[in-house]
Structure 1
Amino acid sequence: MRPTIIVVAVLTFCQAAVSARANDSRCAVPPYGMTVSSFKAFAQAFGGVVVPAKVLPALCNAKYGGTDRTGLYNLGFTDQDIDSKSMGDLAPQFMTALFNLADKTHQ
C-alpha cells in the first residue's frame, strides 16, 4: 500500500507543477538543478520507487520556476525551507516526507 500512496502523491505533485508551467531552464534536463553527484545519489536511492525524470523537474520548478508549491506546503515545507535548501538536500527530504505521509495513512 505504501508505494501506491507515494506514487499517487508524486503524480499529484507533478501534475500541479506541470499545469502551472513557469519552467526554469535548470529544470529541463538532468541534473534538474542539482549537482551531478547529488542527482546520481538521488537516482540510486529513490530510482526504484519513483522516476527521477518525472519527479525532479516538478520539484525543481517548484523551487526555481515559480510553479505551485501547494504540494510541498501540504508535506510541511515552508517557502524558507524550499528557498534555502539546495535541490540536493530538498529532493531526498521531499521523498522522506512522502514516505512519512505513506506511513501515516497506512496506519
Structure 2
Amino acid sequence: MRLRSFVAALILLATPSLALADQDSALAAARSRPGVLDASIDDRGNLWVVVKNANISWDQFANYMCDVVRPHKARVFIAHIVDVTSVGRGKKSSEWKQLAAASCAR
C-alpha cells in the first residue's frame, strides 16, 4: 500500500515538468518555422509569435502556428502574430502591433 502511494506521489510530482517539456518542444517547433523571429507562451495560454511584417495572409499563418504547436500538447489557446518593430523597448504585450490572432481550441 505504501509503495502505491509513493508511486502516485512521484507521478504527481513529475506532471508539471512534463507540461513544461511539452511547452518547450512546442516553442522549439514554432521558432524553427520560416519567418518566425521569436516565440513565447505566457501563463494564460497565449502563443506570441514575432515576425517581420510581409505581404502574406497573417490569419492563415496564425492558424498554421496553432497546427504547429497542437501535436506537442502545450497549453496554447490563442496564437498571436506580432510585428517585430513593435516589440521591445520595455513595451507590454498589449502595446504590440498584432497582425493576426487565431483560436487554437479544436
TM-score over 0.5 for the pair: no
Q: Which structure: greater strand fraction? A: 2
Q: Which structure: greater helix fraction? A: 1
Per the shorter chain, which TM-score range?
A: under 0.3
Which structure has more relative contact order (CA 8 Å, sep 6+)? It is: 1
Give the TM-score normalised by structure 1.
0.26
Larger-Rg structure? 2
